[in-house]
């Protein structure tokens, strides 16, 4: 299923130029047009799934299998000190394009990229309550 207004679906249909790193029948990877660091790559399923809640596990596995392979390759080729692998789900979590995608970001010590600046803490009681609440919901 394709979404006619989705920029990633347009890239998959080759309507928008991109720098493809990898493609098979289920997934595609290309350089992010606005990278955090050189080599910043996006991996996405070719079928349009909005986020992690919608994607079938088998398809998610294909995306994550490629994420591992590309993380190793990108770290080596870009001489990175580390790699971030992450996915934003929904606007509140920073998702800008509503087509599931995983970021592979090569990191260099001191590159200035950061997150989790407003960390919060739990009391022991709160942590116990939250743990129990999540376990009950499983």
The pTM of the full predicted model, rounded to 2 decimals, is: 0.90
Q: Are the CB atoms for 84 and 74 separated by under 8 Å?
A: no
Residue with tokens 């200035």: 112
- pLDDT tens for the chain, 138 residues long, are 557 799 999 999 999 999 999 999 999 999 999 999 999 999 999 999 999 999 999 999 999 999 999 999 999 999 999 999 999 999 999 999 999 999 999 999 999 888 777 778 899 999 999 999 999 999
* Per annotation, catalytic residue among 18, 40, 48, 101: 101
101 annotated active-site: yes
Q: Which fold has domain 7-137?
A: HIT family, subunit A (3.30.428)
Domain boundaries, the chain: 7-137
């Amino acid at each position: 299923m394709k979404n006619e207004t989705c920029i990633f679906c347009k890239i998959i249909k080759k309507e928008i130029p991109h720098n493809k790193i990898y493609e098979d029948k289920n997934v595609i990877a290309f350089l992010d047009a606005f990278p955090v660091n050189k080599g910043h790559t996006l991996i996405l399923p070719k079928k349009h799934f909005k986020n992690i809640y919608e994607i079938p596990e088998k398809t998610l596995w294909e995306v994550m299998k490629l994420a591992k392979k590309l993380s190793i390759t990108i770290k080596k080729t870009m001489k990175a000190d580390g790699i971030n692998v992450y996915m934003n789900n929904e606007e509140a979590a920073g998702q800008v394009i509503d087509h599931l995608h995983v970021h592979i970001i090569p990191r260099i010590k001191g590159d200035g990229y950061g997150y989790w600046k407003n960390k919060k803490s739990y009391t022991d009681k709160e942590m116990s309550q939250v743990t129990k609440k999540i376990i009950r919901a499983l």
